[in-house]
């Protein structure tokens, strides 16, 4: 009798296990998180500083691109930007380009740029002259220099911030130096022209500040 009852309990337990087993096997396992760094990197968006191509508009006071301009920016390496474009200065059209070394961190970057530009230029500088007609002593005058086209070299520092969408802002300040003497120079005293300048070889250096607004494409 006891053996018969034990056999019945065993048969019932076997039937329950048989019914539960398939449902356990069919249950979906919990999703696994990969510990492979390569797979994790592939799942994240491209770094903002690794975007190859960008376009930007610039504005400022006597920047290499003038008062307003635009450029195409190529970033072959996250620490190097190459820009090329043109703009309009107070004296006419300009072409410009340069290379910027970047030190990015999170969404910000510090930059150092060397560049070249070309365009027309006018410049006024004070001069000191003696023996001016009608004046027995030394007088202070003005020299007005004109370049039809001259090359420039510039050095600048910049601070840049990039947003997750790829839009960025860059504040920059630097100095620019003309590479040749003026094509023409006229000297004046008291508003009256007194003849050609003796400082035609003068090569001015000026400071500038500017702001760029750009977009880096996620190609």
SS3 at position 17: helix
The verdict on residue 61 lying in a domain is yes
Residues 6 or more apart in contact with residue 188 via CB below 8 angstroms: 141, 142, 143, 144, 194
Helices (H), the chain: 2-26, 37-42
Given this model, what pLDDT does residue 181 score?
Answer: 92
* pLDDT tens for each residue of the chain, 219 residues long: 444 554 555 455 455 445 545 444 444 444 444 455 544 443 334 589 999 999 999 999 999 999 999 999 999 999 999 999 999 999 999 999 999 999 999 999 999 999 999 999 999 988 876 544 555 555 678 889 999 999 999 999 999 999 999 999 999 999 999 999 999 999 887 777 777 887 778 899 999 999 999 999 998
Given this model, what pLDDT does residue 23 score?
Answer: 44
The verdict on residue 110 lying in a domain is yes
SS3 at position 203: coil
The span from the CA of 72 to the CA of 19, in Å, is 68
The verdict on residue 57 lying in a domain is yes
- Domain holding 110, by residue range, is 51-217
The verdict on residue 124 lying in a domain is yes
Given this model, what pLDDT does residue 190 score?
Answer: 73
Given this model, what pLDDT does residue 18 score?
Answer: 54
The span from the CA of 1 to the CA of 13, in Å, is 19
The span from the CA of 182 to the CA of 113, in Å, is 26
Given this model, what pLDDT does residue 40 score?
Answer: 44
The verdict on residue 44 lying in a domain is no
Given this model, what pLDDT does residue 130 score?
Answer: 52
Residue 194 to residues 17, 141, 144, Cα–Cα distance (Å): 114, 9, 11
Given this model, what pLDDT does residue 60 score?
Answer: 97
74 with 99: CB under 8 angstroms?
no
Given this model, what pLDDT does residue 99 score?
Answer: 98
The verdict on residue 39 lying in a domain is no
Given this model, what pLDDT does residue 25 score?
Answer: 40
The verdict on residue 41 lying in a domain is no
Q: Could you give the number of structural domains in the chain?
A: 1
Given this model, what pLDDT does residue 141 score?
Answer: 85
Q: What is the DSSP string of 87-125?
A: EEETTEEEEEEEEEEEEEETTEEEEEEEEEEEEEEEEEE
Q: What CATH number corresponds to the domain at position 150?
A: 2.40.160.170
The verdict on residue 146 lying in a domain is yes
Given this model, what pLDDT does residue 142 score?
Answer: 86
């Amino acid at each position: 009798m006891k053996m018969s009852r034990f056999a019945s309990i065993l048969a019932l337990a076997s039937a329950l296990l048989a019914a539960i087993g398939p449902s356990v096997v069919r249950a979906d396992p919990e999703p696994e998180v990969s510990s492979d760094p390569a797979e994790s990197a592939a799942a994240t968006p491209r770094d903002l500083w690794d975007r190859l191509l960008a376009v930007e508009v610039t504005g400022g006071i006597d920047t290499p691109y003038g008062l307003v301009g635009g450029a195409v920016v190529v970033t072959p390496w996250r620490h190097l930007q190459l820009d090329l474009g043109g703009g309009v200065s107070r004296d006419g059209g300009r072409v410009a380009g340069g290379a910027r070394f970047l030190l990015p961190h999170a969404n910000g970057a510090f930059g150092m740029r060397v560049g070249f530009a070309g365009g027309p230029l006018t410049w006024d500088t004070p001069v000191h002259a003696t023996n001016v007609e009608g004046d027995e002593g030394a007088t202070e005058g003005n020299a007005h220099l004109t370049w039809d086209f001259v090359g420039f070299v510039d050095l600048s520092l910049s601070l840049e911030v990039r947003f997750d969408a790829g839009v960025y802002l860059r504040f920059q300040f630097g100095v620019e130096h003309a590479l040749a003497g003026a094509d023409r120079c006229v000297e004046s005293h008291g508003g009256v022209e007194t003849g050609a300048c003796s400082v035609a070889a003068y090569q001015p250096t000026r400071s500038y500040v500017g702001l760029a607004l750009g977009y880096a494409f996620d190609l």
